[in-house]
Amino acid sequence: MEVKILSAKFDIEDSHKLEIAKQHGAYATIDKLFAMKPEEVIEEVKNSGLRGRGGAGFPAGVKWGFLPKGTGKPVYLAVNSDESEPATFKDRYILVKDPHMMIEGIIICSYAIGSHDTYIYIRGEYTSQVKALQAAIDEAYEAGYLGKTVAGHDFKLEVTVHRGAGAYVCGEETGLLESIEGKKGQPRAKPPFPAVSGLYGCPTIINNVQSIASLPFILEKGAEAYKAYGTEKSSGTHLFGISGHVEKPGMYELPLGLPLLEVVEKVAGGVWKGRKLKGVIPGGSSTPVLTPEEAKTVTLDYESMAEHKTMFGSGGIVVLDETVDMVKLVENLIYFYHHESCGQCTPCREGLGWMLKIIKKVVRGEGEMSDIDLLSELCDNIEMKTVCVLSAACTMPVRSYLTKFRHEFDAYVSEGASTAAANQE
């Protein structure tokens, strides 16, 4: 089931080094790129159907098309390497194993959108990863792929790495821009969208690492070759991270559209310890959970996930075995999002705090039935009433657990904490 498009060089020794990467085709598209018009590059990417791999799944070429023309201002590219959505661990493989594929993608994107300055925003916790990335960038500068010209072509391109310092919200695109500007990572109200007014008030494109790293293949082999992978509407391949209760957790590149349960069985070795499946989180902790019944019919693409009232998200699949206590899992989730709230919207800052207090009370066995209803009500009152969707990233999954596993919450109230917890095991 696995394919090797983005991960083609991952198993090659020293593939992060320019020389080795070049032997395996790195920077092969540069001459072809500069022979094309920028609009043609955008068209090719649109035709490939590549969708943003940061979680929202917005078509990449379409986003680039939103840039206003002739503003006289510089255009910036920000590469989102914050990788902070729980259960997401894919981009760092690109940063460490094949950084030149991403740098080549940056060149392609920059040329297409007419940008001469890229900022790569990398989460602060990625200490060794940032070193690997910087070393690759230094090599690319020395070899003349970056700097005053790009491989001899009259195109200036500067790439700067900007380190975050521990804030999930800086993965949100405008929180990320604020952070580059030297501020707290508090997301901006939209519109204006970053394509119109982004970094330093200039037109800015923000793309995920994996989206950018997908570009060299598309340019080299063509949109049709990319579309040969995946489904009609969800084209290409994706680096999926499978974690939780499976025998072989890890990062696997797969074409989109495969049946979820088959992937869990065949690729990740199935539910560990011979246990039964209780649920699957399909695309990072902010995506609504699927029951085993729902998981039977879902496939790993944007459309199927939407039909199952969840989201493709960031490809971070979490498998939950029969022993998982969903009430405590929800406590863990709410704690995370509350902790990471940037604090500027009252419904998010106070609402998630209130939800955390209630769920803790339930976990202690001091909850009442009305508390469970209050949790759902809070979800409704918080969602879509805030500047960014961090709050919804909490309320959407929480609501899914409350509806699909309601009996577990009720049990905590009616049977008391110890019995309810014991029954989960």
Partner 1 sequence: MSDRSQLISTGEPFKFDQERDTEFERLIKRYPERESMILPALWLTQEQEGWISAEAIAYIADRIGTFASKVFECATFYTMYHLHPMGKYHICVCRTLSCWLRDKQAIVDYLKDEIGIEPGQKSEDGKFSLEEVECLGHCGTAPVVQINGEFHEEMDVEKLKALLAELN
Q: Draw the binding track, 38-77, toward ligand FMN (x: CB under 6 A; -: no contact).
A: --------------xxxxx-x-------------------
Stretch that binds ligand SF4, among 19-27, 101-109, 277-285, 340-348 (CB under 6 A): 340-348
Q: Draw the binding track, 148-187, toward ligand FMN (x: CB under 6 A; -: no contact).
A: ---------------------x-xxx--------------
Q: Draw the binding track, 154-183, toward ligand SF4 (x: CB under 6 A; -: no contact).
A: ---------------x--------------
> What distance in Å separates the CA atoms of residue 185 and residue 177, rounded to the nearest whole number?
8
Residue list 308-367, contact with partner 1 (CB under 8 A): 316, 318, 320, 324, 329, 332-333, 335-336, 339-340, 342
- Contact assessment for residue 122 and residue 162, using Cβ atoms and an 8 Å cutoff: yes
Find the helix or strand (DSSP H, E) in which 85 lies.
none
Phi, psi of 258 (to 5 degrees): -75, 150
CB of 349 to ligand SF4, least distance (A): 5
The one of ligand FMN, partner 1, ligand SF4, none whose footprint includes residue 348, by CB under 5 to 8 A per kind, is ligand SF4
**Residue closer to ligand FMN (CB basis): 57 or 279:** 57
Phi, psi of 318 (to 5 degrees): -120, 125
CB of 389 to ligand SF4, least distance (A): 7
The one of ligand FMN, ligand SF4, partner 1, none whose footprint includes residue 297, by CB under 5 to 8 A per kind, is none
The counts of H helices and E strands in the chain are: 20, 8
The one of ligand FMN, ligand SF4, partner 1, none whose footprint includes residue 395, by CB under 5 to 8 A per kind, is none
> What distance in Å separates the CA atoms of residue 389 and residue 383, rounded to the nearest whole number?
8
Residue list 360-399, contact with ligand FMN (CB under 6 A): 388-390, 393
- Contact assessment for residue 288 and residue 244, using Cβ atoms and an 8 Å cutoff: no
Sign of CA dihedral 27, 32, 35, 40: negative
Stretch that binds ligand SF4, among 122-130, 212-220, 267-275, 384-392 (CB under 6 A): 384-392
Q: Does 205 bind partner 1 (CB under 8 A)?
A: no
**Residue closer to partner 1 (CB basis): 217 or 252:** 252
Residues in the chain, overall count: 425
- 257: Cα separation from own chain's centroid: 18
Can you give the three-state secondary structure of 103-137, one letter per residue? HHHHHHHHHHHCCCEEEEEECCCCHHHHHHHHHHH
CB of 388 to ligand FMN, least distance (A): 5
- Parallel, antiparallel or unpaired: strands 204-208 and 76-81: parallel
> What distance in Å separates the CA atoms of residue 111 and residue 141, rounded to the nearest whole number?
17
**Residue closer to partner 1 (CB basis): 144 or 166:** 166
Triad 352, 327, 313: Cα angle to 5°: 65
Residue list 17-76, contact with partner 1 (CB under 8 A): none
Q: Does 115 bind ligand SF4 (CB under 6 A)?
A: no
Give me 381's structure tokens.
Answer: 């009152």
Q: Does 379 bind ligand SF4 (CB under 6 A)?
A: no
Burial of 365 per CB tally in 10 Å (0-12, 13-18, 19+):
middle
CB of 14 to ligand FMN, least distance (A): 27
User: Hey, is 196 helix, strand or coil?
Assistant: coil
Residue list 293-312, contact with partner 1 (CB under 8 A): none
CB of 183 to ligand SF4, least distance (A): 13
- Contact assessment for residue 158 and residue 118, using Cβ atoms and an 8 Å cutoff: yes
- Contact assessment for residue 289 and residue 404, using Cβ atoms and an 8 Å cutoff: yes
Q: Does 344 bind ligand SF4 (CB under 6 A)?
A: yes
> What distance in Å separates the CA atoms of residue 176 and residue 350, rounded to the nearest whole number?
23
Binding stretches for ligand FMN (CB under 6 A): 52-56, 58, 80, 82-85, 169, 171-173, 206-208, 211, 388-390, 393
Question: What residues make contact with ligand SF4 under the rule CB under 6 A?
Answer: 169, 186-187, 341-345, 348-349, 386-388, 390-391
